[in-house]
């Protein structure tokens, strides 16, 4: 069912949303004005429809913890930020649960189904369990830096480091053989291409179905074998659901970390003194990762729909109303940072929203933080003279209102 566009004039001159980034590694300049206008307001989408936008930290936390807010995309007023998403089943924004794939596991389901899924996976993503993977992640990162140094400058940091490291880490974590990358790397990237999304989704699902269903002949030790031996063997999880989990983790755990490494490195190099500070003092790495995640706001917002009336911030979000939860806006609040428009790794944020909050807080946040800390430590230690090989304005970036990312990153040292 398609919502009928409405005339926004009765509600006044509303701001258009989403905004366009002026700089690839920070939220759009207009985000500050949206945040200053109040914690909850109406904005106008590309087709003239309107939706709620929450930018206040308290409101973001409350709404993301509220079971009356649904993440299912089948509602008529589910906010769509780009017309290309209307034709993409494979994206997190538009996939419907009944079609399987990305949204059928974790992202596009609500409690109690979401709660059941999350409880099966959560024990495997604790800080203690993730820490056991540190030596493996360090080996992967060091090998990629070795290859980068052997290749010599100039190089594309995206293809040489930022993209392969997260893919190799997630493959090792899942037990997916990285030598099969010709079958899964390309479709994983193409899930965000409107013209290729459906085909890419089928290709990736087909590969993972073969991998899980082949009697474990090609699986490595990892999360998938653990779930096969426990949840699947004991009847709590169907093999098809395991494929959906693998799909979601493989995609979500790579595109975001790749962007965090690339955009974070660019932000550090383009902000005077920041990269040099990490070169001189590696104890700043944990704080730097949090500040990078806050400042870059890779995922600017999440879409939701109210299933019941909700009173909040002096407003009433009616049942059926769409809502955008703005992580970019909340990350500018004084309660989160004292320098909203700048990157300062010596002053880390308090409780940033890069991993979301509440019911759908990123399941893999411990793995992502460990991976990013190891990656930035290796880059600053082994490539202290790293710098962009072209003017920053010439580095190609892309954002279709899903995940902000670079298309290439020429560097030298």
SS3 304: strand
Q: Which of 31-40, 82-91, 250-259 has the lowest mean pLDDT?
A: 82-91
What pLDDT does residue 87 have? 57
> How big is the chain, counted in residues?
413
Give residue 51's domain range.
15-412
Q: Tell me, what's the pLDDT at 12?
A: 61
Considering the entire predicted model, what is its pTM?
A: 0.91
Q: Could you tell me if residue 96 is inside a domain?
A: yes
Quick check: 210 and 198 in contact, CB under 8 A?
no
215 band by pLDDT with thresholds 50, 70 and 90: low
**Number of C-alpha atoms within 13 angstroms, CB side, residue 50?**
16
Q: Could you give the CA distance from residue 388 to residue 153 in angstroms, rounded to a whole number?
A: 11
Please tell me the predicted confidence (pLDDT) of residue 412: 98
Whether residue 66 contacts residue 54, with contact meaning beta carbons closer than 8 Å, is answered with: no
| Between residues 312 and 85, the one the model is more confident about | 312
Q: 96 and 109 in contact (C-beta within 8 Å)? A: no
pLDDT tens column, 350-387: 999 999 998 889 999 999 999 999 999 999 999 999 99
Tell me the per-residue pLDDT of 287-318, one tens digit each, with 9 for 90 and over: 999 999 999 999 999 999 999 999 999 999 99
In a domain, 291, yes or no: yes
Segment 28-53, tens digit of pLDDT: 999 999 999 999 999 999 999 999 99
pLDDT bracket for residue 96 (50, 70, 90)? very low
Pairing of strands 50-54, 322-326: parallel
Rounded mean pLDDT, 232-257: 90
Asked, for residue 126, whether it belongs to a domain, the answer is: yes
State the average pLDDT over residues 256-282.
Answer: 97
Residue 274 has a pLDDT of 98
Dist CA 121 CA 329 (whole Å):
30
**Residue at 103 is within a domain:** yes
CATH of the domain at 369: 1.10.630.10
The pLDDT of residue 101 is above 80: no
Assigned domain for 109 exists? yes
| Mean pLDDT rounded to a whole number for the chain | 90
Asked whether residue 233 is domain-assigned, the answer is: yes
Q: In the prediction, which pLDDT does 109 show?
A: 87
Q: What percent of the chain has pLDDT over 70?
A: 92
pLDDT tens sequence across 143-183: 999 999 999 999 999 999 999 999 999 999 999 999 998 88
CA distance 15 to 38: 13
- Tell me the helix, strand and coil percentages in the chain, rounded to 5: 50, 10, 40
Percentage above 90 pLDDT, the chain:
73
* Other residues' Cβ atoms within 10 Å of the Cβ of residue 238: 11
The DSSP-derived string for 45-70 is -TTS-EEEEE--HHHHHHHHT-TTEE
The greatest distance separating any two alpha carbons of the chain, rounded to the nearest whole angstrom, comes to 62
Q: Provide the pLDDT for residue 4.
A: 40
SS3 389: coil
Measured distance CA(339)–CA(347) in Å, rounded: 9
- Is residue 98 domain-resident? yes
Number of domains in the chain: 1
Strand 322-326 vs strand 301-306: parallel, antiparallel, or unpaired?
antiparallel
Domain assignment present for 336: yes
Q: Helix 164-174 and helix 181-190: axis angle, to 10°?
A: 120
């Amino acid at each position: 069912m398609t919502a009928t566009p409405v005339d926004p004039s009765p509600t006044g001159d509303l701001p258009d949303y989403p905004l366009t980034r002026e700089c690839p590694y920070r939220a759009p300049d207009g985000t500050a004005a949206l945040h200053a206008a109040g914690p909850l307001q109406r904005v106008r989408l590309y087709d003239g429809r309107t939706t709620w936008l929450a930018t206040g930290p308290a409101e973001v936390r409350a709404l993301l913890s509220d079971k009356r807010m649904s993440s299912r995309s089948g509602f008529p007023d589910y906010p769509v930020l780009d017309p290309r998403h209307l034709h993409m089943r494979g994206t997190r924004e538009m996939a419907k649960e009944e079609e399987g794939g990305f949204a059928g596991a974790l992202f596009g389901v609500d409690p109690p189904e979401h709660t059941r899924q999350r409880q099966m996976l959560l024990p495997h993503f604790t800080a203690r369990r993730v820490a056991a993977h540190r030596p493996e992640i360090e080996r992967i990162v060091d090998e990629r830096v070795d290859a980068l140094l052997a290749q010599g400058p100039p190089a594309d940091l995206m293809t040489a480091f930022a993209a392969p490291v997260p893919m190799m880490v997630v493959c090792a974590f899942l037990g997916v053989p990285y030598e099969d990358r010709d079958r899964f790397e390309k479709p994983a990237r193409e899930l965000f291409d409107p013209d290729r999304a459906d085909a890419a989704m089928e290709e990736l699902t087909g590969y993972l179905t073969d991998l899980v269903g082949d009697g474990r002949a090609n699986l490595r030790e990892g999360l998938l074998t653990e779930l096969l031996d426990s949840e699947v063997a004991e009847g709590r999880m169907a093999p098809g659901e395991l494929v959906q989990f693998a799909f979601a983790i493989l995609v979500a755990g790579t595109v975001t970390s790749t962007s965090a490494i690339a955009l974070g490195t660019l932000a550090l190099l383009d902000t005077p003194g920041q990269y040099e500070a990490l070169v001189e003092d590696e104890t700043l790495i944990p704080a730097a990762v949090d500040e990078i995640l806050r400042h870059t706001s890779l995922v600017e917002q999440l879409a939701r729909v109210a299933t019941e009336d909700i009173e909040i911030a002096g407003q009433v979000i009616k049942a059926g109303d769409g809502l955008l939860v703005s992580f970019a806006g909340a990350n500018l609040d004084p309660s989160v940072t004292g320098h909203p428009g700048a990157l300062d790794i010596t002053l880390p944020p308090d409780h940033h929203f890069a991993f979301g909050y509440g019911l759908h807080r990123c399941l893999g946040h411990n793995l992502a933080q460990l991976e990013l800390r190891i990656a930035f430590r290796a880059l600053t230690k082994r490539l202290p003279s790293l710098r962009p090989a072209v003017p920053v304005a010439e580095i190609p970036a892309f954002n279709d209102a899903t995940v902000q990312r670079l298309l290439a990153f020429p560097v030298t040292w």
